[in-house]
Amino acid sequence: MTVTYVIEGSGITGLDSFWDAVGEAVNGPGGYFGRSLDAFADCLGGGFGTPEDEPFVIEWRDHARSARALGHEETARRLDRLLPRVHPTNRARVERELAEARSGRGPTLFDQLVEIITERTGPGTLRLT
């Protein structure tokens, strides 16, 4: 039996609300499923709420609205908050990514989340509706 986790994209207004939505989709109200890109990828790797022995699908409803909320502006906001804490060897890369996001270029948080889901779960697991 395939389990379907539904992310309600209409309620996503930024990254924090995405973490809430995916946590609830997988683990119920108040559920946790990562609150950073790395933690999210780890959770998708198994053992943190996804079925380890059953197939699952992630259905991301109203993904176009989520894509706007997780666009360049929100990406820049995340990178701006991250910059003071990055390791000195990563500072130049994060500064470049921040400059790109501020100018409306480069991958967005939405793009990164879709990539993480696809890489961690394989083809056909993510349904954008």
DSSP 53-73: SS-EEEEEETHHHHHHHTSHH
- List the structure tokens of 5: 């986790």
Please report which confidence band the pLDDT of residue 54 belongs to, taking 50, 70 and 90 as the band edges. confident
Domains within the chain, CATH numbers bracketed: 3-71+108-128 (3.30.370.10)
Average pLDDT of span 1-16:
94
pTM of structure: 0.93
Write the CA distances from 60 to 7, 85, 88, 103, 113, integer angstroms. Answer: 5, 31, 36, 27, 11
Q: What is the mean pLDDT of residues 24-53?
A: 82
Helix (H) or strand (E) holding 74: helix 72-82
Quick check: 31 pLDDT over 90? no
Lowest-pLDDT choice from 8-17, 29-38, 57-66, 112-121: 29-38
CA-to-CA distance for 68 and 86, rounded, in angstroms?
26
**DSSP-assigned beta bridge partners for residue 61:** 8
Handedness of CA 116, 120, 122, 127 (dihedral sign): negative
